[in-house]
Amino acid sequence: MVSESAKYYRTHPEARERKKRYDSKFEKSPSQMAKRRELARHNAAHDKKYGAASRKGKDASHTKSGIRYKPTSVNRGSKTDMAGDRRARGGR
């Protein structure tokens, strides 16, 4: 099943190109690079203690109480973990 946004970008190549340029710029930003470094450090420490297999099928979730591992499907639909999540959904 394909999301509505995926359908849109498949049928609008100029919008897909614009999004690609924006995403590249965003991922190069210092804040995103720092976030990835933080996750890499956290994942390395977790793997050293528990092994990489313990993270299989899970995402690192940034919650109020720090980074926690959640099943991917739960984390992607999370609406209440962080203020940014709530703001992105119109304050809900």
User: pLDDT digits over 33-57, tens only?
Assistant: 998 998 899 999 999 999 989 889 8
Of the candidates 78, 37, 40, 83, which has an alpha carbon nearest to the alpha carbon of residue 61?
78
Q: Which residues are paired to 68 by β-bridges?
A: 61
State how far the Cα of 43 lies from the Cα of 16, in Å rounded to an integer: 32
- Interval 57-83 mean pLDDT: 78
91 pLDDT more than 60: no
2: Cβ contacts below 8 Å, ≥ 6 apart: 10
62 pLDDT more than 80: no
pTM: 0.63
92 pLDDT more than 90: no
The span from the first CA to the last CA of the chain, in angstroms, equals 26
